[in-house]
Amino acid sequence: IALYQPDIAGNVGAILRTAACMGIGVDLIEPMGFTWSEKAVARSGMDYVGAVDVVRHVDWETFLGQVQGRIVLLTTKGAVRLDVAEFRSDDVLLMGSEGTGVPEEVHARADVRVLIPMRPGLRSMNISVATGIVAAEALRQTGGWPV
């Protein structure tokens, strides 16, 4: 899981908690809209935050220089519906910031763009919920669930 310039500490904490339970590392692409030491990260992540392999990147270019595998962007402008998307074990699931998503250059760099199907007229899901949904499907397809 990679989070592009996340805005809300509570969402990041919830994603870290989910990632810990699923055995998935998390990349944080800065700048973030909060300080890493913010209590909301710890509150929503509980004591699970220390159980996650977290890598912080100072910017998008630094992340690109270190990422391995396909970049799979979760977006409301996705080209592939989640229910037909095919995941690989080395995919990096990229989530945009809560307020603005990702800029066009990041969108264009994604190897795959995935859309969670939703009822018409609704804009988006909470990022931590959407991350859990996509991560669960990716783990199901790749046999990556913890034993």
* In the chain, where the domains are located: 2-142
Q: Identify the pLDDT of residue 76.
A: 87
Q: Give the residue among 47, 45, 53, 46 at the shortest CA–CA distance from 27.
A: 53
Amino acid letter, 137: E
The number of C-alpha atoms within 13 Å of 129 and in the hemisphere containing its C-beta is: 4
pLDDT at 38: 59
Best CA proximity match to 36, nearest among 13, 60, 19: 13
- Beta-strand ranges (E) seen in the chain are 2-4, 26-29, 54-57, 71-74, 80-81, 92-95, 112-115
For the chain, how many residues are written?
A: 147
The tens digit of pLDDT for each residue in 43-63 reads 776 778 888 999 999 999 999
Contact, 144 vs 138, CB < 8 A? yes
pLDDT value at residue 40 = 65
Note the pLDDT of residue 84: 97
pLDDT at residue 46, rounded to an integer: 74
Sign of CA dihedral 67, 137, 125, 118: positive
Which residues of the chain carry a pLDDT beneath 70? Answer: 38-40, 45
What pLDDT sits at residue 45?
67
Neighbouring-strand partners of residue 55: 27
| Homologous superfamily of the 2-142 domain (CATH) | SPOUT methyltransferase, trefoil knot domain (3.40.1280.10)
55 within 8 A of 87, measured Cβ to Cβ: no
Give me the helix-helix angle, 9-22 and 127-142, nearest 10°. 20
Burial class (CB in 10 A: 0-12, 13-18, 19+), 137: middle
